[in-house]
Amino acid sequence: MKYHNQQFVRWDDIDAFSHVNNAKYLIYAQEARFHWSFYHFVEKNEESSLVEMVVGRAEVDFIAPIYEGGTFVDVHLWVESVGNSSFVLAYEISAKGQLHARVRTVQVAISMETKKSRPLTDLEREFLAMYTDESAK
């Protein structure tokens, strides 16, 4: 299953070249990831430990520029793979049927006490399994 979120393209996301600045794509992915990993649990009155993660790696493939501010882009994300203490998320950022970017991040679960990586819990693995896209492999 893929998670869908919409992100607002603010007018100040547009740079001097009249398109969305490259750094903003990672912000769109970050905001979608937060909604995915936090609000899913809040809606069920549960606490998520998946917010206790850091980005270990991020990469963006820019497909087509976004030229318009004041509108929304669609962010779809899914889990590509799960390791012991990390997992890979894939994202597609699109608008009006046009793919604008593909993003991948490696998320590393951390302990808030030690500030070091920690193994994923069984509950976290169950949640990640719901968003693992078998067709992407």
Span of 48-52, 68-72, 88-92 with lowest mean pLDDT: 48-52
* Mean pLDDT value of segment 74-99: 97
Per-residue b/e over 64-100, b at no fewer than 16 CB within 10 Å?
Answer: eebeeeeeebbbebbbbebeebbbbbbbbbbbeeeeb
Q: Domains in the chain: how many in total?
A: 1
pLDDT at 104 over 60: yes
The reported pLDDT for the residue numbered 137 is 46
Which pair of tokens denotes residue 93?
A: 């950022």
DSSP 39-103: IHHHTTT---STTSEEEEEEEEEE-S-----SEEEEEEEEEEEE-SSEEEEEEEEEETTEEEEEE
CATH number of the domain bearing residue 53: 3.10.129.10
The domain of 61 spans: 3-136
Average pLDDT, whole number, for the chain?
Answer: 92
Which pair of tokens denotes residue 133?
A: 């896209």
Residue entry with tokens 């929304």:
72
pLDDT at 76 over 90: yes
* Percent of the chain residues past pLDDT 70, beyond the cut: 96
Instruction: Report the Cα–Cα distance between both ends of the chain, in Å, rounded.
Output: 13
pLDDT at 13 over 60: yes
The reported pLDDT for the residue numbered 49 is 67
* Mean pLDDT value of segment 53-79: 97
The reported pLDDT for the residue numbered 50 is 77
Among candidate residues 90, 92, 124, the one with its CA nearest the CA of residue 104: 90
Which pair of tokens denotes residue 66?
A: 């976004």
Per-residue b/e over 26-41, b at no fewer than 16 CB within 10 Å?
Answer: bebbbebbebbbeebb
pLDDT at 82 over 90: yes
Amino acid, res. 78:
W
pLDDT at 66 over 80: yes
What letter would DSSP give residue 122? H
**pLDDT tens, position by position, 21-62:** 999 999 999 999 999 998 777 777 877 767 789 999 999 999
